[in-house]
Amino acid sequence: MKVLVADDDLGSRLVAKAAVEQSGHECIVAADGTSAWELYRQHRPEVVVTDLMMPGIDGLDLCRSIRDAEDYAYTYLVLVTSKDSHADVIAGMEAGADDYVTKPLDPFTLHTRLLVAKRVTSLHSDLARYREALAEQARTDPLTKLYNRLKLAEDLEQLHQRSARYETDYCLAICDVDNFKSYNDIYGHQAGDAALQAVAASLAGGGRKSDGIYRFGGEEFLLLLPGQRLTGAETRLLRALESIRALNIAHSGNPSGTLTVCAGISAYVPGHRVSSERLLKEADMALYAAKNSGRNRVEIAPEVRHVIRS
């Protein structure tokens, strides 16, 4: 572990440093609370052993600052005090300390506290990994392994806010597998799932790393194209449709005899700085226009096409 020792008394610092290193841990030392806070921000140690009374930031304020700055990682805080009153102990715990020791510092006592600290921080580290994995799972479609609507909502909000702030463009497209209900009826749902997986892989493999690909629901997929102009987005979708046709997935219920998709595009561009909700609606309407025009094609929202032409 990495351990930060903060104490304005040189002798106490040396004793604590020796005890930490003899316990097999890396030690960083600070002579006051202010420098301890800077070292904490720089190194993010797993354990902080801090004196109660120090120049600058005292031990209680240091504990509070560390607790406020924590995210998923957990820092085990040990308060060192020459005072052994109940009030000091309670104040330390209320400030965020996990444990306390009294001066003069006993190396054996500190060693035992570090054993406990290692167990606690290891547990919190495991919990953080589990939380991260669960958060990722909650944002991933289990069938296609693409991101789902929850992740889309988060990413679209961030992209729209960033684009509005810096006046940058982005495009949004909704894709739909043509006549997918009849595909399931003819070939079965297991084959339908395999077809969706193939379409998802094709969409994900044909763009830039910055593009976002999401399963929008059922046989629908949504593409977020940051920094993309309308002409580039149209080219991207035409290529996607071609790559899906090239899969040659048989579909006797489709006029072409193979599985195809259609798409509708809208764009956040100069002259059309509208809300993300409106862009979604426009892309959806363009998708329906593509369906009504025979499917297996890309349609651009008329509101956007009009802006580009004007």
Q: Which residues of the chain have pLDDT under 70?
A: 83-84, 308-310
Which residues, including other chains, have CB under 8 Å from residue 273's CB and lie 6 or more apart? Answer: 164, 167
Q: What pLDDT shows up at residue 309? A: 56
Identify the H or E element spanning 225: strand 220-226
CATH number of 149-309: 3.30.70.270
CB-CB contact of 79 with 50 (8 Å): yes
User: Considering only CA atoms, which of 66, 64, 58, 8 is closest in space to residue 41?
Assistant: 66
Active-site annotation holder among 219, 234, 299, 303? 219
What pLDDT was estimated at residue 147?
Answer: 94
Q: Which of 180, 251, 188 is nearest to 219 (CA)?
A: 180
Predicted confidence (pLDDT) per residue in 142-190, tens digit? 999 999 999 999 999 999 999 999 999 999 999 999 999 999 999 999 9
Active site residue 38: no
Whole-angstrom Cα Rg for the chain: 29
237/193 Cα distance (integer angstroms) = 22
Tokens of 184: 């399931």
Residue type, 264: G
* Cα 302 from Cα 243, distance rounded (Å): 26
State which CATH number among 3.30.590.10, 3.40.50.800, 3.40.50.2300, 3.30.70.100 fits the domain covering 2-138: 3.40.50.2300
Rounded to an integer, what distance in angstroms lies between the CA atom of residue 150 and that of residue 139?
6
- pLDDT of 70 reads 82
Which residue shows structure tokens 């052994």? Answer: 84
| Full-model pTM | 0.67
**Per-domain residue ranges for the chain?**
2-138, 149-309
Q: What is the per-residue pLDDT for 134?
A: 80
Res 284: pLDDT: 95
CA end-to-end distance (rounded Å), the chain:
63
Predicted local distance difference test score (pLDDT) of residue 310: 46
Residues 6+ apart with CB under 8 A from 51: 6, 7, 8, 9, 12, 59, 80, 81
